[in-house]
């Protein structure tokens, strides 16, 4: 709802919020993924996601994230994508590793990631 209210104020946010992800096999919603707002002045956008537990460990998150990153690259509005994971979430870390995101820094509880989109082929 928050994104819808923001979209009302700024229609340019249309694709820079949450996207629902559906499984190809049965068209059921498996989770959501998207950007936490428009790219900043440095052409950096932050990505986030959440999927139903029944959809974990099946490659859906990795496939959806790879597609989202490719979409971002095609827009030419983004040069770098960032993300963060809690240190107690190894599955999410593995997803980010699979799409070639690199660890950038770490705090006591969070790991920060980045990917230069020019590295996507």
Provide long-range contacts, Cβ within 8 A and 24+ apart, for 31-37. 31/55, 31/60, 31/61, 31/64, 33/61, 33/64, 33/65, 33/68, 34/68, 35/72, 37/13
pLDDT tens string 24-56: 889 999 999 999 989 999 999 999 999 998 888
Shortest CA distance to 14 belongs to which of 28, 35, 42?
Answer: 35
> Residue 87 in contact with residue 111, Cβ under 8 Å?
yes
Q: How confident is the model at residue 10 (pLDDT cuts 50, 70, 90)?
A: confident
Q: What is the pLDDT of residue 17?
A: 84
Share of the chain above pLDDT 70, in %: 99
2-119 belongs to which CATH class? alpha beta
Domain ranges of the chain: 2-119
The pTM assigned to this predicted structure is 0.88
pLDDT tens string 58-104: 889 999 999 999 999 999 899 999 999 999 999 999 999 999 999 99
């Amino acid at each position: 709802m928050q994104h819808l209210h923001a979209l009302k104020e700024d229609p340019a946010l249309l694709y820079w919020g949450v996207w629902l992800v559906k499984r190809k096999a049965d068209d059921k919603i498996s989770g959501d993924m998207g950007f936490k707002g428009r790219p900043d002045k440095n052409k950096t956008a932050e990505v986030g996601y959440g999927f139903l537990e029944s959809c974990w460990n099946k490659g859906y998150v990795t496939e959806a994230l790879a597609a989202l990153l490719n979409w971002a690259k095609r827009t030419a509005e983004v040069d770098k994508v960032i993300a963060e994971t809690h240190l107690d979430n190894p599955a999410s870390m593995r997803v980010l590793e699979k799409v070639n995101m690199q660890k950038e820094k770490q705090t006591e509880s969070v790991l920060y990631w980045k990917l230069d989109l020019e590295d996507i082929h």
